[in-house]
Amino acid sequence: MRGSDGGWRVLVTDPLSDDGIERLRKFADVHIREGLKEEELIEIIRSYDALIVRSGTKVAADVIEAGADGRLKVIGRAGVGVDNIDVSAATEKGVLVVNAPEANTISAAEHTIAMILALSRWIPSANASLKAGKWNRKKYMGVELNGKTLGIIGLGRIGAEVAKRAKAFGMRIIAYDPYTSVEKAREIGASLVSFDDVLRRADFITVHTPLTDETYHLLNADAFDRMKEGVRVINCARGGIIDESALADAIKRGKVAGAALDVFEEEPPSPENELFSLENVIVTPHLGASTEEAQRASAIVIAEEVERALKGEPVRYAVNMPYLEEERWDVMKPYLTLSSKIGSLCAQLKPRLSRIMRLELTYEGIMSEDTKILTASALQGFLSNFVSGVNIVNAEVMARKMGIKVSERRTKDVDMFKSLMSVSMHTEDGTVTEVSGTIFEDLGDEPRIVKINGYRIDAVPEEYMLICFFIDRPRVIGPVCTILGDKGINIARMQVGRKEPGGEAIMVLNVDSQVDDATIAEIRNVKNIVDVKLVKL
């Protein structure tokens, strides 16, 4: 949805390539404001639909809250790491965060290899020595990479590319990554081992993980003690993964032969950082993604991602939303629509003044394959009836804040349809309300509600639905239709479901216009009517 002035406004607060800016200007009004202080960003962010940053801008919770109170819908990180963005705060406020994780993969991998080579042959020190008029070949004795063991911590995109290149130098590759399969590691010529094995066996150790609570100071004093004597350590990932004080100590006592660092816990680092005084430490100022190719690619990718997000189209690199591959999007789009409508319909059947305790979502058939995004969509549809500001990004967070327990059940087996989704709402008074739906592919992917509280029906979930629960007796359906006709309300479709003759039954009427409270009250007074609900989808 566009802003109230009819166009999207994008704020760029860090350097972005001209190609990226040009791509942004194809669909938005772009404002470039580099070097903003946090209070300045808070003051202006509410008037922008999107914010694009690199690593220089800190997007704190206060910034996100100010933006979400205004127009902010998406934050784009032109690069990989998002530790400068409060993703949790963005999720809670329903602001989508996207990045460009693949754009700098090659550049970061090549920089890592360059650091390994420079470290193994003393290149920076030898260069400085010779330029100072010294000819000291003996001092700068290096080591070959051939036959050495490279330990990679984190075998994701960049780690895998480093492995491929190191393999070409004749290195043996071992890796620790709890999220990578043995088969994937084998494909790139790496052997998956334990973290301790990497520390114990590697001649060179390079880190390629994100910075998280789990990886903060992953390489600490204890880890250095467990490493091979004379190991060399490289970090071109994120500052903070290595305990810099512990590394300096390990180098001084000879445990670590040298280190090459492109990233630091504090950036820019203090000139007093003790690592800078050590000759066998090579440092660069966070240059891993600093190539013309990577800068251009990340800028274009993030511009495209922001455009998709603002248009409500699927994004490839969402950080805080379930990921769905583009080819799967076309398949899943009607199911997302269905799940949202089932959630909304179920919510509107809630007993009055009864607290919602839990929701159970059941997926059968092909709908059981991508349930995370379907659940987010169903929760968005459900919760939007009770709170404002809920969307597919923050729906699960909002449910937790409301004290609603959410669970899923998945099965490939389904009786009557190719797919079936059900939402069961359990309320404090013990009532269970269940709505089930499917997609009729033969009718152009048309969504259908096929069951409400166990009553089999075939209803189209359209804008206005009048749902009547009644006792299956003569002279119920006719009077209801007469009341609607007398009020000038046209009935588009009608479905009746029952479990047995003379028992409880349901009538679902698709009507072409709003039904006011007085008309609903009149219908409730029809003999044998138990309850009436107007559903708006």
Task: Provide the 8-state DSSP code for 156.
Answer: S
Residue 48, classified by CB atoms within 10 Å of its CB into exposed (0-12), middle (13-18) or buried (19+), is buried
Could you give phi then psi for residue 409, rounded to 5 degrees?
A: -135, 130
Q: Tens of pLDDT along 90-133?
A: 999 999 999 998 899 999 999 999 999 999 999 999 999 999 99
Residue of higher predicted confidence among 516 and 369: 516
The pLDDT of residue 102 is 87
Q: Collapsing DSSP states into helix, strand and coil, what is residue 288?
A: coil
The three-state secondary structure class of 53 is strand
Q: 308-354 pLDDT, tens per residue?
A: 999 988 788 889 987 666 667 778 889 999 999 999 999 999 998 88
Q: Please say if the pLDDT value at position 216 is more than 50.
A: yes
Q: Which of 348, 360, 381 is closest to 425 using CA atoms?
A: 360
Q: Measured between alpha carbons, how far is 22 from 125 in angstroms, rounded to an integer?
A: 42
As beta bridge partners, residue 29 has 9
Distance CA 198, CA 188 (A): 17
Q: What is the mean pLDDT of the chain?
A: 94
Q: Which alpha helices (H) appear in 349-419, and where do they start and end?
A: 371-383, 395-401
Backbone angles phi, psi at 126, to 5 degrees: -65, -40
* Domain locations in the chain as residue ranges: 9-102+293-311, 105-283, 326-536
The residue with greater pLDDT, 212 or 279, is 279
Residue 175 has pLDDT above 50, yes or no: yes
Asked about 286 being catalytic, the answer comes back as: yes
**In this predicted structure, what is the pLDDT of residue 324?**
67
CATH topology of domain 9-102+293-311: Rossmann fold (3.40.50)
Of 107, 140, 139, 110, the closest CA to residue 123 belongs to 140
Amino acid, res. 240 = G
Query: Which DSSP symbol is given to 192?
Result: E
Q: Of 158, 169, 148, which is closest to residue 231 (Cα–Cα)?
A: 148
Quote the tokens at residue 273. 């950082």
The pLDDT-based confidence of 205 (bands split at 50, 70, 90) is very high
From the candidates 267, 274, 408, 522, give the one annotated as an active-site residue. Answer: 267
Q: What is the pLDDT of residues 422-432, one digit of tens each?
A: 999 999 999 99
H/E stretch holding 112 reads helix 105-121
> pLDDT tens digit string along 78-88?
988 898 999 99
Catalytic option among 23, 208, 232, 286: 286
Whether residue 351 has a cis bond before it, omega within 30° of 0 = no
The yes-or-no verdict on residue 5 having pLDDT over 70 is no
Bridge partner residues of 437 (DSSP): 421, 449
3-state helix, strand, coil in the chain (%, to 5): 35, 25, 40
- Mean pLDDT over 477-500 rounds to 96
Minimal CA–CA distance to 104: which of 280, 297, 387? 297
Residue with the larger pLDDT of the pair 179 and 20: 20
pLDDT of residue 4: 46
- Asked if the domains 9-102+293-311 and 105-283 are classified in one and the same CATH topology, the answer is yes
In words, the CATH class of domain 105-283 is: alpha beta
| Cα gap 367→33, rounded to integer Å | 45
Mean pLDDT of 262-286: 96
Is the pLDDT reported for residue 53 higher than 70? yes
Strand (E) or helix (H) holding 20: helix 18-24
Q: Residue 366 has what pLDDT?
A: 80
pLDDT over 90 (residue 476): yes
> Which tens digits make up the pLDDT trace of 144-162?
999 999 999 999 999 999 9
CA nearest neighbour of 193 among 230, 242, 147, 149:
149
Sign of CA dihedral 396, 67, 65, 79: positive
Distance of CA 327 to the CA centre of its chain: 18
Active-site entry in 23, 54, 111, 238: 238
Rounded to the nearest 5°, which phi and psi values hold at 123? -60, -50
Is residue 436 predicted with pLDDT exceeding 90? yes
**Rounded to 5 degrees, what angle do the CA atoms 122, 124, 128 make?**
115
> Which range (333-347, 381-395, 453-467, 487-501) has the least confidence?
381-395
Residue 267 bears catalytic tag: yes
Handedness of CA 117, 122, 125, 128 (dihedral sign): negative
This prediction's pTM: 0.71
Six-digit token pair at 51? 């914010």
Task: Please list, residue by residue across 380-394, b when 16 or more beta carbons sit within 10 angstroms of its beta carbon and e when fewer do.
Answer: bbbbbbeeeebbbbb
Residue 485 near residue 375, CB atoms below 8 Å? no
Specify the amino acid at residue 442: D
Percent of the chain with pLDDT over 70: 98
Q: Helix (H, G, I), strand (E, B), or coil: what is residue 60?
A: coil
The domain covering 326-536 belongs, at the CATH homologous superfamily level, to D-3-phosphoglycerate dehydrogenase; domain 3 (3.30.1330.90)
More confident residue, 461 or 415: 461
